[in-house]
Amino acid sequence: MEIVIRAPKNEVEWEQYYDLRYRILRQPWNQPRGSERNEGDATGVHFALFENDKIAAIARLDLNSENIGQVRFMAVESTIQRKGFGKQVMLAIESYCKAQNSSGIILHAREIAIPFYESLNYQLVKKSHLLFNEIQHFLMNKKI
């Protein structure tokens, strides 16, 4: 099994990337196709974990300032969650941030994902926004 983490390189990979983002983060809440994309996609740093050339996990990093990165749109294929792919993506993001001399990372985690981020030493800061009037998010951070 070959695992590679990198940005998508061609149209087919980008379609797989956005399709995974849509199916995991938008479709279960009956959101329209296209809602998985936003203006930050043009400037964000994209991470895709490829398992044998197939995208298994994704995330986007926004560099909000010179010192802080923000993880957005973290998703793992539903049939292979809890196999460490999300952790690998997060560690790749942290390595990237360290190389950029970032002092920390923030993210807004869904309530169900808090234990995952805590296992990576992210700290719960406070309750943040409610997505689609039902998915509570929480601001978390980590100094790196």
Calpha distance 70→19 (Å, rounded): 21
Strand order in the sheet with 3-6: 3-6, 45-51, 54-63, 68-76, 104-110, 135-143, 123-131
What does the pLDDT read at residue 81? 82
Domain annotation covers residue 138: no
Q: What is the pLDDT along the chain (144 residues), one digit of tens a residue?
A: 789 999 999 999 999 999 999 999 999 889 999 999 999 999 999 999 999 889 999 999 999 876 899 999 999 998 888 889 999 999 999 999 999 999 999 999 988 889 999 999 999 998 887 676 777 889 999 998
| CATH number of domain containing 60 | 3.40.630.30
Domain annotation covers residue 113: no
Domain annotation covers residue 127: no
What does the pLDDT read at residue 115? 94
Domain annotation covers residue 43: yes
**Boundaries of domain holding 40:** 3-105
Domain annotation covers residue 131: no
Domain annotation covers residue 119: no
Domain annotation covers residue 143: no
Per-residue H/E/C for the chain: CCEEEECCCCHHHHHHHHHHHHHHHCHHHCCCCCCCCCHHHHCCEEEEEEECCEEEEEEEEEECCCCEEEEEEEEECHHHCCCCHHHHHHHHHHHHHHHCCCCEEEEEEEHHHHHHHHHCCCEEEEEEEEECCCEEEEEEEEEC
State how many domains the chain has.
1
Domain annotation covers residue 124: no
